[in-house]
Amino acid sequence: MKKIFVVHPFLFAVSPVLTLFSHNVGQVAFSEVALPLGFSLLAAVVLLAVSFLIFRDSVKAAILVSLFLVLFFSHGHLMRYVNNWWIGSFHIGGQKPVLLFWLVLLICCFFLLLKTRSSLAALTKVLTVAATIMVLFPLVNIASFKIRAISGPSLSGTSGDVLTAVPTAADQHGGPDIYYIVLDRYGSERVLREFLDFDNSRFTRSLEERGFYVARESNANYQITAHSMASSLNLEYINYLSEQIGEKSSNWMPLFSRLQDYKIWRFLKARGYLFVHVGPKWQPTRKNKYADLNINFQAFPEFSALLLRTTMALPILHKFGIGDLHLEKAKRLLHEFDRLAEIPLMAEPTFTLVHMLAPHGPYVYDKDGSYLHAGKASKRSRQVNYIEQLEFLNSKLLQLVDAIMEKSSEPPIIVIQGDEGPYPSTCRGPDYSWTRATQSELRQKLGILNAYYLPGLDEDFLYPTITPVNSFRLIFRHYFDANLDLLPDRVYIMQDVNHLYKFYDVTDKVK
């Protein structure tokens, strides 16, 4: 009898990982994929070994393992499809009925394989061909993307207009602690009032009572986080990437690299500062490899968590509080605020970058600080959830500001800033082109909170329309004698996710 070589379980094990990587290849480094890829292969080996001990037949063992892997990785996708299936008052699309169905299906297949005496060579060939195709398609897409990236123009790290103005490390005297708190999708007072029917003036007045200057007419320089922060952290507009990379590029990596190695921390490190990074779940800013101290609530890396959401393991892990992104975010926010309040006690002068995914969803807190369960959040409008979480965030920010000021040995510099405004409900979807956005939609997306506590600096140096690209140009110029001029405050949008570096000037539309 001809021996049948079985490879399909290993292909089925890696294909979901490669497919997810293929869909996010411009945003995810291979280092993030290696762990789930290795774990999937290891799981296939273990499952094959256990299955072989039962069947004493490698072909039957491989078929059962492949079936299990397909069901395991497709569970999350199926749940999104059947979630609204009901028979009367019985939710047949719930987790328990679907898991029970999978279990019955596996048991039936197990006994069929156990009892059959037929040759399974044809079925093995079909499974092998199917699994090979499922691996080849994402591999071709990944390889194509990587080839285009390698064969594309070489990238310089900067536009080159700031480096000559940055002081060297010769004078390492340090200075006041500096906190740069970036709040994801925190809209300006005008945006919240006009588009979300919420008056945020009590919070902005509270900041002003503490000595902050609130730039009430401020806009983001770009409409999404990666572009906005790459610009503000490097004190420059990033439009030069259009020529370096090309307007049709969908490669996020040049932006993400600028969120790791950027000019602010290098400037301050040369001045004797300790670099503290406080990151969210979002992988590009979750950790910073250059930071002296990374603060982040321990959790799955974003790619692994996204993969986990498609699997049969997620509902089981949720029972033990593992992999629940909703609960995890709630814990992370409290953890970040607690740790931030300890930074003023550090002996060295510190520069702290905080990227906080709030008031950005998922929405995990009511305004009184009570935990908002995902089920309750799903029954309310996005507007209500956003405002409730924003009010909770406001109270925590004021508490943090008070703690920092009280514990600091000298008055700190604090910048509290949105990176973008809240999304208009009409401007969503992966293929949405921002060139279609109306003036009203652009004003909602680009108006941001922008507040400065700059001790000893006359407010005349600040102005209502200052944008993030100028925040640290102004700070470095007045506190560190850097020869940095302010740039014109312009506002740009990129076209869409397939044209990340095709920019349009919309400054006149958002005034």
- Chain centroid to CA 252: 12
Q: At what angle do helices 30-55 and 58-82 cross, to 10 degrees?
A: 130
How far apart (Å, rounded) are the C-alpha atoms in residues 66 and 210?
Answer: 62
Q: Peptide bond preceding 362: is omega within 30 degrees of 0, i.e. cis?
A: yes
Q: What predicted TM-score, i.e. pTM, was given to this entire model?
A: 0.81
How far apart (Å, rounded) are the C-alpha atoms in residues 343 and 349?
Answer: 10
Among left, alpha and beta (phi > 0; psi -120 to 50; other), residue 272 is left
- pLDDT digits 0-9 by tens, 23-59: 887 777 787 888 899 999 999 999 999 999 998 888 9
- Domain parsing of the chain, residue ranges: 8-151, 172-242+256-296+324-425+442-510
Burial of 160 (0-12, 13-18, 19+ CB in 10 A): exposed
Question: Can you spell out the DSSP letters for 417-467?
Answer: EESS-PPPTTS-STT--GGG--HHHHHHHHBB-EEEE-TT--GGG--TT--
Give the SS3 label for residue 144: helix
**What are φ and ψ of residue 165, in 5° steps?**
-95, -10
Residues 399 and 337 sit within 8 Å (Cβ to Cβ)? yes
Residues 404 and 207 sit within 8 Å (Cβ to Cβ)? no
- pLDDT digits 0-9 by tens, 276-314: 999 998 889 999 999 999 998 866 677 887 788 788 887
The chain-wide mean pLDDT, for the chain, equals 88
Residues 363 and 427 sit within 8 Å (Cβ to Cβ)? no
214's tokens: 């609130």
**One-letter amino acid for residue 15 of the chain:** S
Q: At what angle do helices 189-196 and 439-446 cross, to 10 degrees?
A: 130
Q: Give exposure, 362-379, as e/b (b: 16+ Cβ within 10 Å).
A: bbbbbeeeeebeeeebee
How crowded is residue 489: how many other Cβ atoms within 10 Å of its Cβ?
18
- 139 vs 22, 29, 136, 247, CA distance in Å? 7, 15, 5, 25
How far apart (Å, rounded) are the C-alpha atoms in residues 71 and 203?
Answer: 50
201's tokens: 């003036």
Contacts 24+ apart (CB under 8 A), 237-245: 237/159, 237/469, 237/487, 237/490, 237/492, 238/159, 239/492, 239/501, 239/503, 240/159, 241/155, 241/501, 242/501, 242/502, 242/503, 244/153, 244/154, 244/155, 244/156, 245/152, 245/153, 245/155, 245/500, 245/501
**One-letter amino acid for residue 434 of the chain:** W
- Chain centroid to CA 23: 15
Give residue for tokens 């029970």.
100
pLDDT (tens, 9 = 90+) of the chain, 511 residues, equals 455 668 999 999 999 999 998 888 777 778 788 889 999 999 999 999 999 999 888 899 999 999 999 988 888 777 777 766 777 666 666 777 777 888 888 889 888 888 888 888 888 999 999 999 999 999 998 888 777 666 555 445 555 554 444 444 445 566 899 999 999 999 999 999 999 999 999 999 999 999 999 999 999 999 999 999 999 999 999 999 999 999 988 889 999 999 999 999 999 999 999 999 999 988 899 999 999 999 988 666 778 877 887 888 877 776 766 667 788 899 999 999 999 999 999 999 999 999 999 999 999 999 999 999 888 888 899 999 999 999 999 999 999 999 999 999 999 999 999 999 999 988 877 678 999 999 999 999 999 999 999 999 888 899 999 999 999 999 999 999 999 999 999 999 999 999 999 999 999 999 8
Greatest CA separation for the chain: 89
How far apart (Å, rounded) are the C-alpha atoms in residues 193 and 244?
Answer: 40
Strand-pairing partners, residue 295, are 278
Provide the terminal-to-terminal Cα distance of the chain, rounded to the nearest Å.
Answer: 79
Q: Peptide bond preceding 424: is omega within 30 degrees of 0, i.e. cis?
A: no
175's tokens: 């200075």
Residues 464 and 215 sit within 8 Å (Cβ to Cβ)? yes
Identify the CA nearest to 398 among candidates 215, 192, 191, 204.
204
359's tokens: 């008031």
- pLDDT digits 0-9 by tens, 373-392: 888 888 899 999 999 999 99
CATH of the domain spanning 172-242+256-296+324-425+442-510, picked from 3.40.720.10, 3.40.50.720, 3.30.230.10, 3.40.50.2300:
3.40.720.10
Q: Give exposure, 344-353, as e/b (b: 16+ Cβ within 10 Å).
A: beeeebbbbb
pLDDT value of position 153: 53
